[in-house]
Structures are given as C-alpha cells and as structure tokens.
Amino acid sequence: MAPDILCIGSVLWDVIGRSDQPMKAGYDVPGRINRTPGGVAMNVAMTLARIGLRPALLTAVGTDPDGDELLDRAQSLGLDTSFVHRPEGRTDRYMAVEGSNGLIAAIADAHTLEAAGDAILTPLSDGRLGSADRPWAGPVALDGNLTDTLLAEIASSPLFARATLSVAPASPGKARRLLPFLKASRATLYVNLIEANLIADQPSQTTQAAAQILLGLGASRVVITDGANPATDASATHDRTLAPPPVRVTRVTGAGDTFMAAHIAATARSADPRDALEAAVQAAASHISA
C-alpha cells in the first residue's frame, strides 16, 4: 500500500539523560539514561503511526548494527522503511541532558544524513514514489537536519511541486535553513518562538506577533509554539491562538515533533484550524507529562 505521508529527515538513536532535579552546566546528579528511536522525522512518523496513518521514512541510516536495530524497531512500530538509504558507516545519534528545569544541553550528530545529500530523495525521482513527470502529490513532513543546500533545492524542486510540505527546523541553530520555504506556497512552517524570531531576524514577544511578521515575509502558513505560553496557527485566512493546558513536565525532547505530527494529522482530517491547534497542544502536553 502507498504511504499516507513521507517523513523526510533525521532518523537516529536518542540517548537522553534525565533527572528530576534542577540542573545547570557542571552538575553531576542521579537520574536515568535511556536510548530510544528519535530524530524529527522518526518522532513525527511514530506519532502519525499511533494515530493510524501509514508514514514512510526517507532518510539515511548507517549499515552498522545500530542501524539494523533502529530500522527493525521502526518496522515494528508500523513505519515503512523500504525507501531508506543505507550508506556505509555508522548510524546518527542525538545526546541530551534534561533536568526538572528543562533541557540543559544537547548534541545532534547527523553527519550520515548530511553526507547522504539528495540520495535520500531518489525514490521520489525513480518512479517508486514519484518522478519529475508525476511528482508525489501527498503530504510531506520535512526537517531541518538536511543541509542548507538540499533544503533550498527541495523548496524549488519539481519533485515537490504537488506536495503539501510541513517543515520544522529541528533546533534554533538550524532555523534559518528554512528561509527558502518562506516563499513556498504549499509549505507550513512549524517553529517555536525563538526559531520564528531567528527566521524573521527581528524579535517578537508573542507567537501571535511573530506569526504576523512571518506571514508578512511571505510565509503561507505558520504554526508557532512557546512552551507553556499560547501557540498560534496563522495564514492569510485564519489566525488562531491557544494556551496549552498546565501539566507537570517530566521530559521535553520530542515535544515539538509530537505537536507537529498531531497538527498534521488533524489538518489531514480537514479539522478546523482551532481544532487542529487544540489537538496539537493536547498531544504535546501528554508527551511532556508522560
């Protein structure tokens, strides 16, 4: 069966150390360290699969045992891995430390994905998922762990001319990689307030204000979060803002990806923008409090 959505970007191992104590640089505290499947594309795909959709991964995963195990896990979760590029080398990974006061530090090692370049997009041109004459016409979730060059190519590529793009930067340090998508009429940008301000190159204090600036710069639709503060979904035809429910935060990694996936799924079901935003904030709240 054809996939419902393509998830393009990082698929890796998350190694997360968590403590229920507040932390800052230099702290050494007891806690738990877990290794789980992660990466923006993977997190979005896992959430979509739980909702009942059939996502396919377009990414690069190394040929090492870690890569074999990661793809086995993905398949067991209902993800289509048949289009994954497998270059020689090791599988990417992400390492983070979280305290009760949130994310303390993180390092993303996405070198295998970045080195693969446009090889991960081959199924979109060789007929398996599409071609230049018959491009993929479904939804695509795309993350900013790809290189600047490849993201710019995707924004104008005929292979994506009929696709509906949902784009996230993956981290504030990669936010400006999304600049080519400001003029892409079929793209929705999923960013937090820090990332929105970096893309706009001017400060806003609220998601509502940041959304209007990005729309003024040419964005078709933007969905902006700000932690426990109100989130905004805005386009030329709607402007919705909603405060997340108050919850006890036990983890933060993956919250934005869960939010994005829930919003994509609700929008695909033709939900009203406010209903889609509510589904997204509820999903993120459940994730961080689990």
Average pLDDT over residues 246-267: 93
Q: 135-158, pLDDT tens digit by residue?
A: 999 999 999 999 999 999 999 999
Mean pLDDT, all residues of the chain: 95
pTM of the entire structure?
Answer: 0.94
Q: What is the pLDDT at residue 215? A: 97
User: Distance between CA 179 and CA 14 in Å, rounded?
Assistant: 27
pLDDT band at 170 (very low <50, low <70, confident <90, very high): confident
Q: 13-70, pLDDT tens digit by residue?
A: 999 999 999 999 999 999 999 999 999 999 999 999 999 999 999 999 999 999 999 9
For residue 163, is pLDDT > 90?
A: yes
Q: 80-120, pLDDT tens digit by residue?
A: 999 999 999 999 999 999 999 999 999 999 999 999 999 99
Q: How do the residues of the chain divide into helix, strand and coil, expressed in percent and rounded to 5?
A: 40, 25, 35
For residue 245, is pLDDT > 90?
A: yes
pLDDT band at 270 (very low <50, low <70, confident <90, very high): confident
Average pLDDT over residues 204-219: 97
Q: What is the pLDDT at residue 183? A: 86
Domain 5-289 has CATH 3.40.50.300: no
Tally of CB atoms within 10 A around 185:
9
Q: Which residues have CB under 8 Å from 87's CB, separation 6+?
A: 60, 62, 63, 112, 115, 116, 119
